[in-house]
Amino acid sequence: MDIREQRGIVLAATKTIRKIGGRWVVPSQSSSAMYSVHITNTDNYCSCPDYETRRENCKHIYAAIYVMRREENPDGSTTVTETAFAIAATERPSYPQVWSAYNQAQKNEKENFQSLLSDLCNGLSLGPQTRKNGRPTLPLSDMIFSTTFKVYSTVSARRFTTDLREAQSKGFITKAPHYNSVINYLESPELTLILKTLITQSSLPLTAVETEFAADSSGFASSRFVRWFDIKYGKERLEHDWVKVHVMCGVKTNIVTAVEIAGRNASDVKCFPPLIESTAKNFTISEVSADKGYSSRSCTDAIYKVGGTPFISFKGNATGGVGGSYEQMYHYFMYRKQEFLQHYHKRSNIESTFSMMKRKFGDSLRSKTDVAMVNEVLCKILCHNLVVLIHEMYELGIDPVFWTKSTIN
């Protein structure tokens, strides 16, 4: 039984499939589209793109066939339906939520977040700032704490002032900075490297948990606009500018282990090897999954180099002729496709990671300049990592300890 037949059984068991006249109306499994299926003694037809490309039975045709068999069963047996649900359970396993741990993590998140962030900031070995004239500068640890905590709060800098005063009263910072100082510090170029270091440090408590990883990129919209002239339609186009972020995450906890931010049109392939190299410095990599945007020999070689197995989707015109690790995985995919896909589908965890960030901390940026937008995105990722750690404190019973080894050269 191939994968399309299995998915056809799932459709027959979980969707409403109707017969109208001489055709079957079968809903899409992933969207609101409806497809027309014709079943005859000599040939079958479906209006879906998969059938138009392959001219072979698709999952919608199989679904219609199973519904026909089920309706023609005179004793009303539901054997097909039960089998379908069994396969559906195999394809989409459910993971029970540990509600007691989840509730405790949510109730104590804000206080634990400040405590973990303070530990991270206080561990930075940054020299004292000196200024000959003007007002004395605040400690860098206080400024990093304030900017990251401000992004976590998702409110304006002015309304965030109350949270800063409260953090000062609890001893997390020595002095609550002015809201303009918090905004201005996001404009600092040296903050970028510091935030990347903190993201790495925040992932280290889970080195014993994560061995399988997934990579992808996503965009965060800004308040700036990009204009261009569309020659084809003869008019000007306008859209929001955005920051493209490349991320590597663990598939078990969704912790982010490495980040690369290049231009909005930067190649995915060029940003992938640095993600692997950065993750491999602190984690044991057994496998990495990614979509076909990373399908290249350089990406598979980067994973093989650190001892991992690449499960990267192949493009439609791939042949494996480039040799090396890419060719090996291509033959793996062609001859053991079902096993390959079981590993590849772990890639969905990186989509969950981006969804977690954007739902909790917003999918748009308040900053206006390039440097500030990059730093704001990095703050969102750092906030995400700390929230993940807080959840694992209650679910796995870990006690996060930072700066056990220095990552600053």
pLDDT tens figures, 278-322: 999 999 999 999 999 999 999 999 999 999 999 999 887 888 778
Total domains in the chain come to 3
3 state SS of 252: coil
SS (H, E, C) 95-112: CCCCHHHHHHHHHCHHHH
The pLDDT value given to residue 299: 94
- Shared domain check, 172 and 139: yes
pLDDT tens figures, 148-199: 999 999 999 999 999 999 999 999 999 899 999 999 999 999 999 999 999 9
Name the more confident of 65 and 127.
65
The pLDDT value given to residue 80: 42
Q: Among the three residues 185, 215, 233, which one is the final residue of a domain in this structure?
A: 185
Q: Among the three residues 146, 170, 185, which one is the final residue of a domain in this structure?
A: 185
What percent of the chain has a predicted confidence (pLDDT) above 90?
51
The answer to whether 312 and 291 have CB atoms below 8 angstroms apart is yes
Whether 308 is covered by a domain: the verdict is yes
Whether 60 is covered by a domain: the verdict is yes
Residue whose structure tokens are 């919209």: 221
- Shared domain check, 233 and 354: yes
Is 53 buried (19+), middle (13-18) or exposed (0-12) by CB count in 10 A? exposed
- Shared domain check, 363 and 244: yes
- Shared domain check, 373 and 224: yes
- Shared domain check, 171 and 65: no
pLDDT tens figures, 234-286: 888 877 788 899 999 999 999 999 999 987 788 889 999 999 999 999 999 99
Q: Among the three residues 164, 185, 206, which one is the final residue of a domain in this structure?
A: 185
Whether 404 is covered by a domain: the verdict is no
Q: What does the pLDDT average to over 107-130? A: 83
- Shared domain check, 302 and 390: yes
The whole model's pTM is what?
0.75
The pLDDT value given to residue 231: 85
Whether 400 is covered by a domain: the verdict is no
- Which DSSP string do the residues of 163-211 spell out, in sequence order? HHHHHHHTTSSSS---HHHHHHHTT-THHHHHHHHHHHHHHGGGTTT--
Domain hosting residue 104, numbered range: 99-185
- Shared domain check, 152 and 76: no
Does residue 352 surpass a pLDDT of 80? yes
Residue 375 identity: N
- Shared domain check, 334 and 356: yes
- Shared domain check, 200 and 331: yes
Whether 407 is covered by a domain: the verdict is no
